[in-house]
Structures are given as structure tokens and as C-alpha cells.
Chain A
Amino acid sequence: MKATRIIITAMTLKWAYRAANSITGFASSVIGCGCESAIEQELDPSETPDGRPGIAVMVFAMSTKDLANQVPKRVGQSVMTAATTACYAGLHSEKEIPMGKSLRYFGDGYQISKIINGRRFWRIPVMHGEFVCEETTGVTDAIGGGNFLVMGKTARHALTACEKAIEEIKKVAGVITAFPGGIVGSGSKVGSKYKFLAASTNEAYCPTLKGQVKSDLSEEVGSVLEIVIDGLNEEVIKQAMRAGILAVCSYGPKKGIYRVSAGNYGGHLGAFHFHLKDLVK
């Protein structure tokens, strides 16, 4: 996968969050949304280019072309439209995709380009004042779909453990969990009986189908939730998976958590394999 990181700043952290929540909306899976995106971390004013409170957002897609398609659209519709915001590149690399480069035309000829410290920014006059946007943002190779499954007695048990896992994963820099709340309620398998569908329900892990299909679930499991992690490299994904799995395991069978597994799809999906036992050694 390819990834980029974007820094959104605003007058207050609340408005930076509103823009960040909007740009990361409908971005849970590349299968249906074109990209996967989520908030990576809050940034202190001292960490942002303009000294205002900020949010770092990461966007993952299958190719640079897909990223170049998604990012300007999302920044244009979700960040530029949010009051008092500005948008900057959160990583720099040789390979870059357009951001302000495409959005500048919104200025209808009144846009102004400024090069500061070798980086080009566009000043687009807008009704709230001025929308400042960096011309491009860097693209890097990344890994998507690091995952583990949490099998619990009920959905409430599994969700409580997963929420704790997400809290721990958020502490790791360079990773995101793009699904709503970071947790997948409807994990999928590759392919379907229907030719037009690329992914469909993972019946081996559906508790309601235990009697109908070759199930991977034991009798006591009543709910399975999945945590999917995208990261900038193998190491940060390993760190995040380890933090998440240890958090889930801290609940144990007495609190309704019976097993942690992973959807490895027969080893056919992706070049990277994360072996859970090795992660928690």
C-alpha cells in the first residue's frame, strides 16, 4: 500500500477535530471507500507548521494514483470547508502527490503562492479569511491490514476488550485503525459466491452460522470483533498489534474473552505475515 500523512490545524483543537473527522469519514476500507484513513494523533501547537493546535491524519490507498485521487478531493471538501483550518504535509519524500496544487484553482485567480524554507504553500482567499494549504504531500510505502480477531462470550464482552486495545494502539505513532472506533464488526473474507463481489462475510467466524458451516469458533464464542491496523512499516504494526493483543488478553476467560486469532486468509492476502505468538513472546 501507499500512505501519506496530513497535518490539519485550526483556531482551536475542536475545529481541527471537526475537519479531521470529516476527512477521515467514509474511509474504513480500500475495498469500498477508495482509501483507509484515520486520525493518527493530536499535535501540540509547537509541533505544527503554523503554531496552532493540530491533528495528524494518515491516508492509505492501494497505489499512489489512488492516493492522488482521494487526497485533494477529501482536503477540498472536508478541510477547506471547515472554518479556520489550514492543511500541511505531514511527511516529506521524493514521491509526492498534489494537495494545494489542485485546490489553488478555488482561489479563482486570487490565490497566492509562497515558498517558505523550500516548501511551496498556497494561500487561497476564502470567506473565513485565508485557507493555507501546502502544494504537495509526501507518499511512502506502507502496510495495510495487520489484523487480529477477538472472540468473546458476547458482543459486549468483546467490545469492552477491543475498546481497551484501541486505547493502547493509539499510543503507537505511525499507525491507524481506520474502521469506526477502530473496530470491525463485520470482518470479511476474500471473494464470494457472487462473481461481482470482491469480499463477503467471513462465515467461519460468524457465531450464528456455527451449526451450518465449517466454523472456526468454539461453542462458547458468541461474538467476534476484528481490529485492523494500517502502519508506515512492519515494526510499528508489530508494536501496535502487540499492544492491542496484550490489552485484550488482560481480560481473560473470566471476563468473557476466550481466544485471539487472526484472519490470515490462507496466507494469500498481502506480502506481510504477522504471527501472533511471536508478537507476544
Chain B
Amino acid sequence: MKPLSFKLKIKPEFTLDISPLTPDKLAGKKLAQIKSIYLSYGKQRTSVDKLFTVSGNDTANIQFLEGTEKLLCVGQNMSHGSIEVHGDVGNLAGQYMHGGIIRIHGNAGAWIGNSMKNGHIEIMGNTGDFLGAGLPGDPYGMSNGLIFVHGNAGDRAGDRMRRGMIIINGNAGDYCGSRMGAGTIIILDKAGKHSGFGMKRGTIILAKQPRHISATFKSCGNLKMQFLRLLFKQLSEMGQQFAMFKKYGPEVHRFAGDLASNGKGEILILQTIKSRN
């Protein structure tokens, strides 16, 4: 079977909601049926046939051969299979997904993995604000699964995160892990200001010393955290793209906080620094 492939016929001027094009919603459909699906394109409803050249037959493996920041809601609510985008995507990719894999070979917009329940999102480029966060009105952000960003992430990554893991290979913006309830965020380059602002529980792991740590985080000193041996070994065995975790050990500087909230969260800085408090 060949992957079901979509190639853009036009250069979209307006936002294009491709949430109906997921393995779940296309399962069992023939090519003609898929071509007749209507998508929201700006204020209009336009058929897939007018927007994409469609080929292939494996609805569990979907490929978008081109990408643009106008593509919204890639893989929304998907529960299985894979979606691969060879280019950029817009906002809300992986929203509410509860299984499967989304792989984006480009940059992604904001709200990626919004309130996702499970599954795996991999972004080869950079991503915008509110990665893995919850929309205003949602009770919390991502509640399981893994988001792996090879590039940089914007502000408030993991906002109100409930469970799961976010790995950012590059830099993270300000307020990373703000209002976290649980889960793990790993930032392998620099983090912005106010990491963990208002976090109740959860773990933020920083590979580099941050420029700023909020006053409401209290130093627990330089420690060897047994849990990190387990985490790094398990991650490094997940595939070649996680091999960088082999070089990290359990030595950290632990900060507990946010003491203005529940105070049971933690920021672990892998590069030990001089005790601040």
C-alpha cells in the first residue's frame, strides 16, 4: 500500500482547516470519497479535489507533500496512524490527539499539541507559543504523550500541562511550564524568563543555566537525582534522535517551586550552579 498523499494545487491565501484529513476520519474511504470532502478555506467550503492532488491508498499513513503556515489543525483528534508534513504548518496541529504520530518537517505555529491526550508529535523546525498548552476554557493542557521539537519553542510551552513530556532541543521562550500541574519539560538549550511560573507540580529540566529563576523557587542544592538516570537511559533507548540523552548524568541543581502556588514542582538544572539561597 502507498501512503495517502496530498499535494497542494494552489498557494493558500487564507487559513485552510485540514482537520477532516486524519487516519481516523479517512479510514475505509475510497479516493473519490476523499476528494469530495469539503474543507474550510477562509470563509468558504472547498472540496479536497480543488485544493489537493490526491494519490495513494493507505489512509493510516498520510503525507502532505508541501506545507504552509496556513494549514490548521493537522491531525486534530487523531487516535492512530501517522501524518507527515513536508513543510510548515500553522496553529493547532495535534489538537486533542490521543494516539498516532505527527511528524512536521518544517516550522509549526502556535498551540501545537493543544490538550493532546496521547501520541507523539515531532517538529523538525521551530514552533510558536503555547506548545502543549490548553486553550482558554480547557481545564488543562496536554495530558499525555510526547512532543519533540528539534528547534526552538515560543513562550508558555507546557502551560497548564497535566502529564506527558515535552522535549525542546533548542531554546524555549518565557514562562515555560507556567501553571504546570504535572509532566516533564526538557529544554536542551536556553530557557527564557520566569520558567515554571505558578507551577503546582511537574518537572522542568534545563540543560543550561537559565538567565533568570523566579524568586518563588527555592534551592534544594546540588544533588544526584536517581530518577534522571532512569529517564535519560529510557529516552536514549527510544531511537537515534534521542541519543543525545546518553551524555547527561544525574547531577543537577534542584529548585523547588513555585512556592507562590502548591510548591511541589521542580526545576532541575543539569549544569550545576553555585547555590543561590
Contacts and interface: CB of A to CB of B under 8 A. Distances in A.
A114 B202 CA distance: 9
B234 A129 contact: no
B140 to A, nearest CB: 15
Interface string B29-70: 000000000000000000000000000000000000000000
Interface residues of A, number: 20
A129 B201 contact: no
Contacts of A110: 264
B240 interface: no
Could you tell me the dominant secondary structure of chain B's interface residues? mixed
B182 interface: yes
Nearest to A128: B226
B230 A49 contact: yes
Nearest to B231: A116
Interface in A96-119: 109-110, 112-117
Contacts of A115: 144, 163-164
Contact of A117 (B224, B227, B234, B266): B234
Contacts of B231: 114, 116
Contacts of A121: 227, 230
A129 B203 contact: no
Interface size class of B (residues with CB under 8 A): 20 to 34
Nearest to B163: A115
B264 A129 contact: no
Given A49-B233, A51-B233, A114 B226 contact: no
Scoring B224, B225, B229, B231 by chain A CB atoms within 10 A of each residue's CB, the highest score goes to B229
A113 B182 contact: yes
A243 interface: no
Interface string A39-77: 000000000011110000000000000000000000000
Contacts of A2: none
A117 B165 CA distance: 10
B223 interface: yes
Interface in A120-174: 121, 123, 129-132
A129 B233 CA distance: 19
A131 B238 CA distance: 24
B184 interface: yes
A86 B233 CA distance: 14
A50 B229 CA distance: 5
Nearest to A46: B233
B226 A116 contact: no
Interface of A: 49-52, 84, 86, 109-110, 112-117, 121, 123, 129-132
Top 10 nearest A-B pairs (CB, nearest first) are A50-B230, A50-B229, A51-B233, A130-B226, A116-B234, A123-B227, A132-B226, A117-B234, A132-B227, A49-B230
